A and B are shown apart, each in its own frame.
Chain A
Amino acid sequence: MQSPSQPTAAHAIETVFRMEFPRVVAAVTRVVRDVGIAEELAQDALVAALEQWPHSGVPDHPGAWLTTIARRRAVDLVRRRENYARKLQEIGRSLETTVPAEEPAAPDDIDDDLLRLVFTACHPVLSPEARTALTLRLLGGLGTAEIARAFLVPEPTVAQRIVRAKKTLATKNVAFEVPYGPDREARLGSVLDVIYLIFNEGYAATAGDDWLRPALCEDALRLARQLAALMPKEPEVHALASLLEFQASRTAARTGPDGAPVLLKDQNRRRWNRMLLARGITALDRARAASAGPPGPYALQAAVAACHAHAYTYEETDWASIATLYGLLTARTPSPVVELNRAVAVSMADGPGPALEIVDAVAAEPTLRDYHLLPSVRGDLLWRLGRTAEARAEFARAAELTGNARERELLRGRAAQASDA
């Protein structure tokens, strides 16, 4: 058994490296303008650390040490390319490169480089899968094996996704920059969506046997907290952090002792994490303080989560407010999934009848065709209206559609219950 105070030299060095990795990659990308090359140079710096630190000890500023090594190699590389470019020019072709001055890294520069890395990893030229993989790799510091485990896909698949993503960024000449122009809002939205997607994959696993994969939620929450600290003026960034803090606060209560999912109405609210609830409220306050206009989509979702957080019992839930918030969200970002959520809130505020009308209005949406929550919600409304035979069919269909084994059991149970009624 390894003593906690004396991690092996390699583990201690890897820990430091993982902590510094995003900043090293960001600083080097500024020089080489290519995240793929930057990542390789960062790995080279790790090899140098593994060779030297066991004898010399970990330096006082390990991040600066790693960055210096990696940058030095980056500058060499750029110079070699320049020589190469000169040779090319002689035969009539050109290559644009610049060698930056070796300036010491001020905290603001580090933050700026990190933000550029965030916007690059979440760039819309990449597929959503590539964005999540690259973000977890470059900003979360996760290895490909960890990412593969988290998403239940083979490791080579993840490795390939990352390689392809880096190639795409290079071939499409994606600029290493923080967008400040008219596309900033959309680009920031893309970043927030990537983090939310990572969280959700852990929170409501779309596949596999576990109801929850907490590690993925925690990685996403950490990213959201990092972003909120890096972009304190952006209301939607605080709003995303707020939403995730609220969602994460319910983790312990969402799973029963046997690992089966526990629905919101049955959760023991004493098991909600008070610290995370408080952080959710604080982050939502920050979002509101930073906001000059109407609340954005994440602020509205965080406000819904806050309604649940403020209810000591399920019976005290302010469903009317939640229905209103979902109405605002639908107006802002029309989506059948949001309408489904609104229907649930309306069913609690005004009864299953009006809610069924909302569901039936979106039931034909192609995006919901294989979405298990549509028959699941519809089944519940039919059950409450006493239409048990129809309810049973809906629950059975929902059980067929879900990729999550735990949820399938739950839905089959409800179908059986409806058959017996």
Chain B
Amino acid sequence: MPRYLSLVKIDEASAPAEGPSPELMQRMGELIEEVTKAGVMLDTAGLTPSAQGVRVHWEGGKISVTDGPFTESKEVVGGYALMQCKDMAEALEWTKRFLKVHEEHWTVTCEVREIAEG
């Protein structure tokens, strides 16, 4: 049973400034509990805004460090979910359910990637 990492990306510029509504948090909490009770959720968390993040870059044998926010990328990772599923179809179904708990004014992209085992 492969593990999948869902990288939750949001456009920080257009995301609601006040953050997720209490209703959204409630629905999200219920869904996460459901995914856990299905034996699927291994770990999940939200990240603090990219303004508090730092990028460390390696190129040409040199390190360069940039403070956030990372305004040049339209979408930045805002959270993740690590799930163990039968296949990609199951991972996508849970991902769609995760997206559907958001209100319509949210724009969210989940990039679902299978973890290479070996």
Binding site for B on A (CB under 8 A): 4-5, 7, 11-12, 15-16, 18-19, 60, 107, 111, 114, 215, 218-219, 221-226, 229-230, 252, 275, 279
Interface residues of A, dominant DSSP = helix
Q: Are B84 and A15 in contact (CB under 8 A)?
A: no
Q: Give the contacts of B8-48 with A (CB-CB under 8 A).
A: 30, 33-34, 36-40, 42
A60, B37: Cα distance in complex, Å: 19
B74-118 near A? 1/0 per residue, CB < 8 Å: 000000000010111110111000001000000000000000011
A219, B1: Cα distance in complex, Å: 8
Q: Are A225 and B39 in contact (CB under 8 A)?
A: yes
A111, B36: Cα distance in complex, Å: 12
Q: Are A5 and B92 in contact (CB under 8 A)?
A: yes
Set of chain A residues within 8 Å of B37, measured between Cβ atoms: 111, 114, 226, 229-230
Q: Are A226 and B38 in contact (CB under 8 A)?
A: yes
B45-84 near A? 1/0 per residue, CB < 8 Å: 0000000000000000000000000000000000000001
Set of chain A residues within 8 Å of B39, measured between Cβ atoms: 221-226, 229
A229, B38: Cα distance in complex, Å: 8
Query: Given B42, B84, B90, B100, which contacts A19 in the complex, CB threshold below 8 Å?
Result: B90
Please judge, given known A-B contacts A107-B33, A215-B1, A218-B1, whether A15 and B38 are in contact too, CB under 8 Å.
Answer: no
A4, B118: Cα distance in complex, Å: 21
User: How close is B81's CB to chain A, nearest CB, in angstroms?
Assistant: 14
User: How close is A141's CB to chain B, nearest CB, in angstroms?
Assistant: 9
Smallest Cβ-Cβ distance to B88: which chain A residue: A4
User: How close is A187's CB to chain B, nearest CB, in angstroms?
Assistant: 20
Q: Are A19 and B38 in contact (CB under 8 A)?
A: yes
Given contacts A4-B92, A222-B40, 16 further A-B pairs with CB under 8 A are A7-B89, A12-B89, A15-B87, A15-B89, A18-B90, A19-B90, A111-B37, A114-B37, A215-B1, A219-B1, A223-B39, A224-B39, A225-B39, A226-B39, A229-B36, A229-B37
Set of chain B residues within 8 Å of A114, measured between Cβ atoms: 37
Set of chain A residues within 8 Å of B38, measured between Cβ atoms: 19, 226
A215, B38: Cα distance in complex, Å: 17
Query: Given B1, B93, B100, which contacts A60 in the complex, CB threshold below 8 Å?
Result: B100
Query: Given A19, A60, A107, A226, which contacts B30 in the complex, CB threshold below 8 Å?
Result: A107
Query: Given A15, A218, A222, which contacts B93 in the complex, CB threshold below 8 Å?
Result: A15
Please judge, given known A-B contacts A19-B38, A225-B39, A229-B39, whether A218 and B84 are in contact too, CB under 8 Å.
Answer: yes
User: How close is A267's CB to chain B, nearest CB, in angstroms?
Assistant: 15
A225, B34: Cα distance in complex, Å: 12
Set of chain B residues within 8 Å of A229, measured between Cβ atoms: 33, 36-37, 39
User: How close is B5's CB to chain A, nearest CB, in angstroms?
Assistant: 11
A81, B7: Cα distance in complex, Å: 51
Q: Are B118 and A15 in contact (CB under 8 A)?
A: no
User: How close is A389's CB to chain B, nearest CB, in angstroms?
Assistant: 43
Query: Given B1, B34, B90, B100, which contacts A15 in the complex, CB threshold below 8 Å?
Result: B90
A-B contacts, 14 listed (Cβ < 8 Å): A4-B92, A7-B92, A15-B89, A15-B93, A18-B86, A107-B33, A215-B1, A222-B84, A223-B39, A225-B39, A229-B39, A230-B37, A252-B117, A275-B42
A5, B95: Cα distance in complex, Å: 12
Q: Are A222 and B1 in contact (CB under 8 A)?
A: yes
Set of chain B residues within 8 Å of A60, measured between Cβ atoms: 100
A408, B11: Cα distance in complex, Å: 58
A12, B91: Cα distance in complex, Å: 11
User: How close is A401's CB to chain B, nearest CB, in angstroms?
Assistant: 32
Q: Are A107 and B34 in contact (CB under 8 A)?
A: yes
Q: Are B118 and A252 in contact (CB under 8 A)?
A: yes
User: How close is B91's CB to chain A, nearest CB, in angstroms?
Assistant: 9
- Listed residue (B36, B39, B100) with the most chain A CB atoms within 10 angstroms of its CB: B39
Smallest Cβ-Cβ distance to A230: which chain B residue: B37
A83, B18: Cα distance in complex, Å: 59
Set of chain B residues within 8 Å of A18, measured between Cβ atoms: 86, 90
User: How close is A3's CB to chain B, nearest CB, in angstroms?
Assistant: 10
A33, B88: Cα distance in complex, Å: 35
User: How close is A203's CB to chain B, nearest CB, in angstroms?
Assistant: 15
Q: Are A279 and B42 in contact (CB under 8 A)?
A: yes
User: How close is A60's CB to chain B, nearest CB, in angstroms?
Assistant: 7
- Listed residue (B84, B86, B88, B100) with the most chain A CB atoms within 10 angstroms of its CB: B86
Smallest Cβ-Cβ distance to A271: which chain B residue: B118
Smallest Cβ-Cβ distance to A12: which chain B residue: B89
- Listed residue (B1, B30, B89, B90) with the most chain A CB atoms within 10 angstroms of its CB: B89
